[in-house]
Amino acid sequence: MVALRMKRTNNEADEPSSPVLRFGADKPLKLDAGTLLSPFQIAYKTYGTLNDARSNAILVCHALTGDQHVASTNPVTGKPGWWEVLIGPGKIIDTSRFFVICSNVIGGCLGSTGPATTNPATGKPYGLDLPIITIRDMVRAQLMLVDHFGIEKLFSVLGGSMGGMQVLQWASSFPERVFSALPIATGARHSSQNIAFHEVGRQAVMADPDWHGGKYFEQGKRPEKGLAVARMAAHITYLSEAALHRKFGRNLQDREALTFGFDADFQIESYLRHQGMTFVDRFDANSYLYMTRAMDYFDLAADHGGRLADAFAGTKTRFCLVSFTSDWLFPTEESRSVVHALNAAGASVSFVEIETDRGHDAFLLDEPELFAAINGFIASAARARGLSA
Amino acid sequence: MCQTKGTIMSVNHAQRVDLEVVADLIPPQSRVLDVGSGDGLLLELLQATKQVDGRGMELSQRGVNECVARGLSVIQGDADKDLKFYPDKGFDFVVLSQTLQATRNPKLVLDELLRIGKHAIVSFPNFGHWRVRLSLFLEGRMPVTKDLPYSWYDTPNIHFCTIRDFVNLCEELGATVEKATALDANGQKIGLSMPWWFWNFFGQQAVFLLKR
């Protein structure tokens, strides 16, 4: 079973079940680390039809452990796409109207070049031989995909969390290619506390003896325990104290009394263990290291002499930012500082803070106020872009 | 007058006759910032009738969320704190309608409006209106009227002024009054030829177009 699972993950990394765009030696990806990645590949999914004017394309950017399967069944988990509540025929992001593109980020593990991908130079998985990937690298790769479709200007770029970072990077690096931008539950930088949590996760992975310095595939192993612990710790940061208490309280798990041992006495323990265990079935440990590092390195203001407004100077992109009251990973203040920078840059910006106790993960859930805001923003942007309803 | 305008105005016509006066001051295709945009009434009116590039700032998050859901470009913000983030002369018009009296520092806010906008439009309830004077003079009580419905202890309006007070503040800030309109209790414009004291007595609301 373990061997089977390993093989499958490996296969999705090299030969994903979604379309793949391969770039040869003539088209390397320039990395912030100072090297070129070549050859490399991008795995992606599209939904809907690109119109003749190529003006109805929406790029969706996925979060830390997301993938390209945004609006269709995930081939690894068999579960619905991660944003199917929002995207699909007749949904808020209506795929019978818009052409939706979602690609696995560079450094990911579901078909775009990442640490689990076979390094053509060695015939073995890259592991830690892959250079560090940044949010900007991810966006540069996405640009090559967008160019492949001949899309001059994306109607919209949207995403939450790490996806939101990509949205901000898109709007900053390629403003003329982005008509509207929807960064949700995100910030222009990763805070010290966020880096701290990521470091805990990485250390958990690297402390697992099965990690083998990142060369676990060659040993026929995977650092499942370490990755599960990393996921458990991270998962807490995606929720809120209020939501945890509402859902689990101090309820006991399938027992009448405390056992005076270290079993999962409490429901919350059992829940977290389950989250950790299911995560390792679908995600590569090294990829987790690379993804978390990419978020840690993100600091849009630092790239512009410390002045965030300069990251958006002269922008004509229409922005809508969304935050959630109980999100302590990317608190409202992080969004607000982006809003202030956009105001200073004279940008067109809307900003909605949504009251919910569901924490950071609220952006992935059925939140009527979130949907109303996205709907209103997309509808008015579509009118401004001259897209018929 | 187009259909949309009629529909919107009819909703709240009694309280917000000043919006129509404000809208008349703004030429088509202007860049407009509405500070204290509330439920987005003015922005919608301006977009429908003047095709402006309109933005809003509103204190109440509920108001903001409703505006964004209706496709308006609005952010949550505090006129007292958040105007400083906007660049000089970034807008053709900055509008502050029925909000000045609710700010903590009206002088600073007005100064910011004049900095951000090539023109500023300010509308406010006139505390010099005869009904207000009468309430204080005869009853010795803080006035509670149809247009100023709050009691003194729960009012958001902490800095009332009269038309004369406002004109003084404009002078202090070096602002030029380009146009001024006073509306009587029925929402009718008071004749231009009337002297300031007359406006200050019979004007229930005032709308000023300023620049600096």
Confidence of residue B5 (pLDDT cuts 50, 70, 90): very low
Based on the fold, state whether residues A72 and A146 are members of the same structural domain: yes
Based on the fold, state whether residues A317 and A264 are members of the same structural domain: no
Mutation target among B46, B65, B78 for the A interface, most CBs of A within 10 A? B65
Per residue in A132-179, pLDDT (tens digit) is: 999 999 999 999 999 999 999 999 999 999 999 999 999 999 999 999
Confidence of residue B26 (pLDDT cuts 50, 70, 90): very high
Per residue in A91-145, pLDDT (tens digit) is: 999 999 999 999 999 999 999 999 999 999 999 999 999 999 999 999 999 999 9
Based on the fold, state whether residues A51 and A105 are members of the same structural domain: yes
Whether residue A88 contacts residue A95, with contact meaning beta carbons closer than 8 Å, is answered with yes
Domain boundary among A238, A258, A292: A292
Other CB atoms within 10 A of residue B22 CB: 26
Based on the fold, state whether residues A203 and A266 are members of the same structural domain: yes
Chain A residues interacting with chain B (CB cutoff of 8 angstroms): 318, 320, 339-341, 343-346, 348-355, 369, 372-373, 375-377, 379-380, 383
Region B135-146: mean pLDDT is: 86
Chain B partners within 8 Å of A317 (Cβ):
none
Answer yes or no: is pLDDT of B175 > 80: yes
* Smallest Cα distance from B106 to chain A, Å: 21
Nearest Cβ partner for B69 among A346, A351, A372: A372
Q: For chain B, what is the domain count?
A: 1
Backbone angles phi, psi at B125, to 5 degrees: -75, 135
Determine the structural domain holding residue A135 and report its residue range: 2-190+304-385
Interchain contact, A346 vs B73, CB within 8 Å:
no
Interchain contact, B71 vs A383, CB within 8 Å:
yes
CA distances from B44 to A277, A317, A352, B96, B199 (A): 51, 21, 18, 15, 30
Burial environment of residue A22 by CB neighbours within 10 A (0 to 12, 13 to 18, 19 or more): exposed
A361 labelled binding-site residue: yes
Answer yes or no: is pLDDT of A5 > 60: no
ipTM over 0.90: no
Cα–Cα distance, A136 to A19 (Å, whole number): 23
Confidence of residue B15 (pLDDT cuts 50, 70, 90): low
Based on the fold, state whether residues A339 and A274 are members of the same structural domain: no
Determine the structural domain holding residue B171 and report its residue range: 3-127+158-211
For residue B67, the one-letter residue type is C
Based on the fold, state whether residues A284 and A263 are members of the same structural domain: yes
Q: For chain A, what is the domain count?
A: 2
Per residue in B78-111, pLDDT (tens digit) is: 999 999 999 999 999 999 998 999 999 999 999 9
Interchain contact, A355 vs B85, CB within 8 Å:
no
Chain A partners within 8 Å of B4 (Cβ):
none
Other CB atoms within 10 A of residue A25 CB: 8
CATH number of the domain within which A282 lies? 1.10.1740.110
Q: Who's near A274: CB < 8 A, 6+ residues apart?
A: none
* Smallest Cα distance from B138 to chain A, Å: 47
Any domain includes A298: no
pLDDT greater at residue A2 or residue B149: B149
Catalytic residue of the set A55, A103, A156, A161:
A161
Any domain includes B72: yes
Domain boundary among A236, A257, A292: A292
Residue % of chain A over a pLDDT of 90: 96
Any domain includes A91: yes
Nearest Cβ partner for B71 among A340, A352, A379: A379
CA angle B143–B145–B146, rounded 5-degree value: 165
Based on the fold, state whether residues A248 and A369 are members of the same structural domain: no
Based on the fold, state whether residues A150 and A93 are members of the same structural domain: yes
Any domain includes B136: no
Confidence of residue A320 (pLDDT cuts 50, 70, 90): very high
Residue % of chain A over a pLDDT of 70: 97
B32 close to A (CB below 8 A): no
CA angle B18–B24–B26, rounded 5-degree value: 110
Region A34-62: mean pLDDT is: 98
| Tokens of residue A157, six digits | 């770029």
Give the bridge partners for A350, in sequence order.
Answer: A320
Interchain contact, A352 vs B64, CB within 8 Å:
yes
Any domain includes B179: yes
